[in-house]
Structure 1
Amino acid sequence: MNERAVFAEIFKLGKVSRPELAQATGLSKPTISMALADLERARLVRPIGLRTGNAGRAALLYEIRPQAGWVLAVDVGREFVRLALADLVGDIAARRDEHRKGGETPGELVAWLAGLARELVDEAGVDLADITLTVFGTPGIHDKETCSLQLAPNLPGWGRPGAIELLAGVAGEAPYLVENDVDLAAVGEGAYGLGQGMAHFALVWIGTGIGMGIVIDGKLYRGYQGAAGEISYMPVGEGDPLVNRGRGMLESVASADGVVALATRLGMRGVTSAKDVFDAARAGDDVARQVVAAEADHIAHALAGVIAVLDPEMVVLGGGIGAQAGDLLIGPVADGLRDLVALRVPMIRASTLGTEAVLLGAMAVGLTKARDLVFERAVAQAPPG
């Protein structure tokens, strides 16, 4: 227990001295010294020199040994896959961003990811066997009873029972986790973005799809079936039958395809993406501005329901539309909410993490769990007595 407490504090504080650890943990200095000696023998921490410049004796500093564990983070998106290999302190040793061709079978996608994983470990100078944990961020909901992905139309074939088990082939013998991509984006926002230090916030992802990650009391909230935040199915807007195709009502009108469909119906020509619409609105196009106003109205009505239930301190807009069109949407959304919510409108912000949010969330989850895994392995391998 003492070693775990000391290990956790070094993880939290970074470079730290024995007196600082004693103050942070409440343990005596002799106990700290014994715990550090054990952790150093287990190759989990290392001394890194003296802190100088202060009066009195220079303090010996310790830090987590970066190579004590490795985390592979994987973001499987609609258009891209992104992979990063990081050491136990979170420094990225190798990275790949690759465009998906789309339509891959589960076996083909896993084989591709496995090849990219091998490239990463080769670049980092480690082996697949050195990976402590792999975290996959995917669309949809991981059904643990059937080992399948539900509500993930962009990953054909992954709804079959047992499909998730194929991911074991990506990184050798390393254990792995599968998390919803928007949930991971919320974790990333809390660890590295606007949600740092905030106990209650929601990240609303608006792009090719729509979803929400919820943080309550500083922890990710998943719900009973892991489906908390599936706001694409909120009954907002009239629904677009041309876009719907199994999507929820909100997603059919407020996703990227919904924006393009509305712009086309209103007479805009040559529109192939939501970005085209937002760029035209910035340039003063009247029809594009009507589309933006409709999008802001849909988002405001959806957020009114979210705010009434969750009462967040902040709502972060992420995704290709939420983050990149925040300059056009945040003002109208906040104005609309003032007429829709009972109390004060929470802060509405555009994510600063962009396309990195899911990968960073996977990294944050992986580092926390990998810390526990390497500690437990070290304890299991320690000689008795």
Structure 2
Amino acid sequence: MSTRPATGAGSQGGPQTAQPWNRQRLRSNNEWLLLERLRTDGPLSRAQLARDTGLSKPTVSAALAMLERAGLVREAGLLAPERGRIAVLYEPDPLAGHVLGVDIGRARLRVAVADLSGRIVARRDVPNRGRSANAVADAVVAAANEATAEAGLRPEDVVHAAIGSPGVWDESQRRVHYAANLPGWGRRGLFERLAAGLGTGISLHNDANLAALGEYAAGVGAGSRVFVYLLIGTGVGMGVVVGGELQPGASGAAGEIGLLPMAGGAAAPEGSGVPGAPATLEGTAAAESVVRSARELGMSGSLTAKRVFEAARAGDGAACAAVRREAEQLAFAVAVVAAVLDPDLVVLGGGLGNGADLLLAPLEEELHRLTPLRPRLAASLLGDEAVLRGALATALLDARAEVFERRTAAVG
């Protein structure tokens, strides 16, 4: 079982290169080079690959033949130029392997199976009704097995599973820290249980980090130099991507902004943490704090953060005031982040990120009052999909290299 923090968005994996030079290793590197070129720019012909890579046409032909025998590439049609002979186009075979992405939240469990192109072939999105850590882990396994079966696959056909959850993975202790919203999630042995149930190699990642990677790869964060993703739901987390690379920090805890003590030394609200403990951003800006504010301001009945935002959209005064209070708390967090990281973009995501239509204007107004540093603010383009998309992208980085090694070794 692999349990480690997420790699950067720009990591390419690939065959091991630290071994002494030999002809077989050179062929392997050429094959990997061509496979990656086809993945990023394909479909391409032999001649196009030779021009793009600088390899000779005989070398390209031999490498493509090996990749075809290994089931890693396939013909993708014909190219009929105005002059010259018709050329065969090649592309990576997406069915050479599959991956699993998992998003574990307090309220919902999201699971998706994707082929090596990243195309989702099956998924499950179910309420998280687990009353214990073991029950949550077993529910993840059940949802993953259902999705795998729906895709017509066996568990062993899944090459790698990337799992996102609140908290920070501690490799030395083999457990997660700071996952207060998932009781029992930090105990040892839990992820061995997950790996055994899933029947494949797994890696554990902070959910906000995965959301940042997903939003950078396929959302509004694409192209940002210093990009910050705020995941705001039952908890508050943050992922930071600089130059396309995730910044996990020395121990993986970079971005645990929910632990940030609030200004003024106020105590945490009753029922939101350890009695007498200082108020934290998570205790004052997560979903439950919106509900608490709404009640203090006069709303009653069965409330959730979603219902408060719906009432605010309908013009309810107390709900509007609660949303504005939330925006002010978030503005303080963004001001701190801006002073430390100087991001060019801050994205609001997670459950409360769905209320960005109400939050962004008052957040920006308060941010301008607090600091002259003013990063661009935006709503997540991926919404509730960001963590899952980041998990799939991370799983693919591992799986593509592993599938390459397995299949080329089998035919080499």
TM class by shorter chain equals over 0.9
Uncovered stretches (5+) of structure 2, i.e. residues with no partner? 1-28
Deviation at 1:58, TM superposition (A): 2.8
Tell whether the 8 Å contact from 2:181 to 2:234 is kept in structure 1 after alignment: no
Letter of the 1:134 counterpart = A
Tell whether the 8 Å contact from 1:259 to 1:295 is kept in structure 2 after alignment: yes
Of the three residues 198, 219, 224, the one matched with 1:198 is: 224
Of the three residues 316, 341, 364, the one matched with 2:371 is: 341
Deviation at 1:55, TM superposition (A): 4.6
Seen in structure 2, the aligned counterparts of structure 1 residues 235 and 114 have a Cα distance that, compared at 3 Å, is closer
What corresponds to 2:23 in structure 1? Answer: none
Seen in structure 2, the aligned counterparts of structure 1 residues 242 and 25 have a Cα distance that, compared at 3 Å, is farther
What corresponds to 1:14 in structure 2? Answer: 42
Of the three residues 357, 360, 364, the one matched with 1:330 is: 360
The question of 1:103 aligning with 2:131 is answered yes
State the secondary structure of the residue aligned to 1:244. coil
Of the three residues 208, 219, 225, the one matched with 1:182 is: 208
Residue-by-residue CA offset, 1:286-330 (whole Å, 9 max, x unaligned): 2222222211111111101101111111111001112x1111111
User: For the residues of structure 1 that align with 2:244 and 2:369, how far apart are their CA atoms?
Assistant: 29
State the secondary structure of the residue aligned to 1:111. helix
Tell whether the 8 Å contact from 2:234 to 2:287 is kept in structure 1 after alignment: yes
Seen in structure 2, the aligned counterparts of structure 1 residues 242 and 23 have a Cα distance that, compared at 3 Å, is farther
Seen in structure 2, the aligned counterparts of structure 1 residues 170 and 199 have a Cα distance that, compared at 3 Å, is farther
Tell whether the 8 Å contact from 1:260 to 1:271 is kept in structure 2 after alignment: no
Deviation at 1:52, TM superposition (A): 3.6
User: For the residues of structure 1 that align with 2:90 and 2:404, how far apart are their CA atoms?
Assistant: 16
The question of 1:135 aligning with 2:162 is answered yes
User: For the residues of structure 2 that align with 1:59 and 1:242, how far apart are their CA atoms?
Assistant: 71
Letter of the 2:145 counterpart = R
User: For the residues of structure 2 that align with 1:41 and 1:144, how far apart are their CA atoms?
Assistant: 38
The question of 1:289 aligning with 2:332 is answered no
Letter of the 1:124 counterpart = A
User: For the residues of structure 2 that align with 1:260 and 1:310, how far apart are their CA atoms?
Assistant: 31
Paired-residue identity, %: 46
Seen in structure 2, the aligned counterparts of structure 1 residues 306 and 6 have a Cα distance that, compared at 3 Å, is same
> Which piece of structure 1 moves more, 83-92 or 28-37?
28-37
What corresponds to 1:224 in structure 2? Answer: 250
How many equivalent residue pairs? 379
State the secondary structure of the residue aligned to 2:198. coil
State the secondary structure of the residue aligned to 2:270. helix
Deviation at 1:184, TM superposition (A): 0.6
Letter of the 2:141 counterpart = A
User: For the residues of structure 2 that align with 1:240 and 1:278, how far apart are their CA atoms?
Assistant: 23
Tell whether the 8 Å contact from 1:204 to 1:315 is kept in structure 2 after alignment: yes
Deviation at 1:271, TM superposition (A): 5.1
State the secondary structure of the residue aligned to 1:149. strand
User: For the residues of structure 1 that align with 2:372 and 2:382, how far apart are their CA atoms?
Assistant: 30
Letter of the 1:118 counterpart = N
Of the three residues 114, 139, 153, the one matched with 1:112 is: 139
- TM value normalised by structure 1: 0.93
Seen in structure 2, the aligned counterparts of structure 1 residues 54 and 249 have a Cα distance that, compared at 3 Å, is farther
User: For the residues of structure 2 that align with 1:261 and 1:312, how far apart are their CA atoms?
Assistant: 31
User: For the residues of structure 2 that align with 1:273 and 1:293, how far apart are their CA atoms?
Assistant: 16
Seen in structure 2, the aligned counterparts of structure 1 residues 312 and 22 have a Cα distance that, compared at 3 Å, is farther
User: For the residues of structure 2 that align with 1:168 and 1:10, how far apart are their CA atoms?
Assistant: 32
Residue-by-residue CA offset, 1:121-164 (whole Å, 9 max, x unaligned): 22222211111101111111111111111111233222122322
Residue-by-residue CA offset, 1:187-235 (whole Å, 9 max, x unaligned): 1101111112323201001111100011011111111111110111112
User: For the residues of structure 1 that align with 2:136 and 2:201, how far apart are their CA atoms?
Assistant: 19
User: For the residues of structure 2 that align with 1:234 and 1:355, how far apart are their CA atoms?
Assistant: 24
The question of 1:298 aligning with 2:324 is answered no
Residue-by-residue CA offset, 1:336-362 (whole Å, 9 max, x unaligned): 22233344x221000121111111111
Seen in structure 2, the aligned counterparts of structure 1 residues 21 and 53 have a Cα distance that, compared at 3 Å, is closer
Tell whether the 8 Å contact from 2:130 to 2:139 is kept in structure 1 after alignment: no
Deviation at 1:54, TM superposition (A): 4.8
Tell whether the 8 Å contact from 1:73 to 1:85 is kept in structure 2 after alignment: yes
Deviation at 1:180, TM superposition (A): 0.8
What corresponds to 2:11 in structure 1? Answer: none
State the secondary structure of the residue aligned to 1:242. coil
Q: How does 1:54-203 map to 2 (within 5 A)?
A: 54-106=82-134, 108-172=135-199, 174-203=200-229
What corresponds to 1:356 in structure 2? Answer: 385
Uncovered stretches (5+) of structure 1, i.e. residues with no partner? none
User: For the residues of structure 1 that align with 2:171 and 2:343, how far apart are their CA atoms?
Assistant: 29
Residue-by-residue CA offset, 1:351-380 (whole Å, 9 max, x unaligned): 121111111111111112111111122343
What corresponds to 2:307 in structure 1? Answer: 276
User: For the residues of structure 2 that align with 1:34 and 1:110, how far apart are their CA atoms?
Assistant: 46
Tell whether the 8 Å contact from 2:130 to 2:136 is kept in structure 1 after alignment: no
Tell whether the 8 Å contact from 2:228 to 2:346 is kept in structure 1 after alignment: yes
Deviation at 1:239, TM superposition (A): 5.1
- TM value normalised by structure 2: 0.87
Seen in structure 2, the aligned counterparts of structure 1 residues 17 and 335 have a Cα distance that, compared at 3 Å, is farther
Tell whether the 8 Å contact from 1:149 to 1:164 is kept in structure 2 after alignment: no
Of the three residues 402, 407, 412, the one matched with 1:373 is: 402
Seen in structure 2, the aligned counterparts of structure 1 residues 376 and 148 have a Cα distance that, compared at 3 Å, is same
Tell whether the 8 Å contact from 2:100 to 2:112 is kept in structure 1 after alignment: yes
Tell whether the 8 Å contact from 1:190 to 1:196 is kept in structure 2 after alignment: yes
- Give the root-mean-square deviation of aligned CA atoms: 1.9
